[in-house]
Amino acid sequence: MAEGIVFSFIMFAWVVDDARGRNVQLSSLFKACVVAFGAIAVPVYLIRSRGFRLASKGVAVFVVQFVICMMIALVMLVALQMTGMFKQP
């Protein structure tokens, strides 16, 4: 769960920084959506700020990074279970 919270805020910080650099105005609601629904909101932001063609590469990179983060979290969970530091009920 902690990984998800950290990942959400990293996505939020990147989107806000990228929007400033591109002079894109983001509503408060959209910023909240980035934190709550990042896997959907970040690709939407990329398409809105870059257009579909340019966003396709960014979306692909985002999906790969998202999958890698989930795999790392899974490996960490398995490692913690194997060492006995975390036991599933």
pLDDT of amino acid 38: 82
The structure's pTM equals 0.63
Which residues constitute the domain of residue 44? 2-83
| Nearest C-alpha neighbor of 10 from the set 45, 38, 32 | 38
Specify if 76 maps to a domain: yes
pLDDT of amino acid 28: 92
Say what angle helices 2-22 and 28-36 make with each other, to 10 degrees. Answer: 140
pLDDT of amino acid 17: 93
Helix (H) or strand (E) holding 80: helix 52-83
State how many domains the chain has: 1
Per-residue pLDDT of the chain (89 residues; tens, 9 = 90+): 777 788 888 889 989 999 999 999 999 999 999 988 888 888 889 888 888 888 888 778 878 988 998 899 899 988 888 888 766 66
